[in-house]
Structure 1
């Protein structure tokens, strides 16, 4: 498959890491996705996509149009169609808030049809890009839609969450939440309340996800991996806790995950998050 992505122009870049277009025949159709510091928007321009929660009590879903996903605190699985044509958005953890008129905690660990949030937008985007539009044209149409949906006045507390969330992002989750609250001049409870409203989870949870993401990105499957050193660098100081969280987030032990990465190396040209993996 081909991945074409870019950072959108200001002011969208304050809330979005990248917008991207994914096209072609997938090398692996069933993918396992650990928690990552992102919320998502997917507009499906190809065949239906299937999704499964790692919680077996949650029924699977099939999307032929598009769907929003908030921040996930557990892994999920999705199955590509035989041929993929999809345009998507990687929002920063707090970035979805000014684009949707609903509390972010209602999107936590959930997928919601796009048309339930942005009425009739999927058909409009499909009509704009048609069947033969280039990736550049498709991304331009999506960026225009996002710009039209961005709230003119930030909702209460978003500036605080954006500022403190930015510090978690730049520190890879190692700044203590108490330090963030003190430097912002607010209580820890107030900060947690604003994060739940705009991110869907507490700042401690966001920090955990950033810490895990840093570790995953640090794994070089082509070389021997010193898991203790990587875990310590990422801010894990309890080896047993690290192993439990790693298996909870990926479904694998570190050794099993490394073997899977070596069996199924990332496709060239994809962003180096090394998060989604074939479901073996």
Structure 2
């Protein structure tokens, strides 16, 4: 039975995951703990090691942070990796698991979609200002200025930060940093040979040194070292492509 090492990189999004297989997550104490049939990976600013053995079948749903807090309220702690969920998600996983095990992913997806749609009808909505600011941060690859966003929404920076943290679980500045980091890893996975200077400029970093400092802060490695790891794991073909887009290096 093969064993695979994975690295869950810092991410601005929140993932609801239904797991059918043997996967373990490393805690802060260095111990590997089994992942349950359903869990949530929250927005996080540090990397986490995961190990899987044998065949795993996984179904995941990705949320913007403010949507996750409203849809999964009372069902999961979305601030960090959660291994204990509420009764609703636990019951849902007992129905989804056998479908994943049998390979019926479409039926499993329909079950999860139906559960989420039912939750959406009764969930409290995030403030419109938070959603508008968050979507602008994603659209700008994390480059939108928080002060300018607050002014456009008729709020002070402090008011926007307070509303954002309450609705999304993190500040808009932290979200912007995570979005920009995610865009950087995506580009390096697509093209590990890309110029780091050009990429730093494209993503709005002050300069290449700023880009490298931010990348190291999240991964303890430079973007050049990360690109080298992509080349090692997914050697490029004649087209110059790096990691296949059907496979995410962050999981």
TM > 0.5: yes
Distance 1:222 1:204, change over 3 A: closer
The 2-side partners of 1:61 and 1:151 are apart by: 35
The 2-side partners of 1:162 and 1:137 are apart by: 31
**2:121 is the counterpart of 1:146:** no
Aligned residues: 244
Corresponding position of 1:183: 152
Q: CA deviation at 1:267?
A: 6.2
Could you list the per-position Cα deviations for residues 152-180 of structure 1 after superposition, in whole angstroms to 9, with x for gaps in the alignment?
A: 3534x432211110111111111100111
Corresponding position of 2:55: 83
The 1-side partners of 2:222 and 2:149 are apart by: 32
Query: Which residue of 157, 160, 167 corresponds with 2:136?
Result: 167
Could you list the per-position Cα deviations for residues 228-256 of structure 1 after superposition, in whole angstroms to 9, with x for gaps in the alignment?
A: 11012111114333212212223322221
**2:17 is the counterpart of 1:42:** yes
Taking structure 2 as the reference length, what is the TM-score of the superposition? 0.84
Corresponding position of 1:276: 250
Corresponding position of 1:9: none
Q: CA deviation at 1:219?
A: 2.3
Gaps of 5+ in 2: 235-241
Distance 1:275 1:206, change over 3 A: farther
Q: CA deviation at 1:113?
A: 2.5
Corresponding position of 1:20: none
Could you list the per-position Cα deviations for residues 50-76 of structure 1 after superposition, in whole angstroms to 9, with x for gaps in the alignment?
A: 1125xx447543223110122111111
Mapped contact 1:51–1:61 kept (Cα < 8 A): yes
The 2-side partners of 1:232 and 1:114 are apart by: 41
The 2-side partners of 1:213 and 1:231 are apart by: 13
More helix by share: 2
Gaps of 5+ in 1: 1-24
Query: Which residue of 122, 126, 141 corresponds with 2:97?
Result: 126
Q: How does 1:165-244 map to 2 (within 5 A)?
A: 165-219=134-188, 224-244=193-213
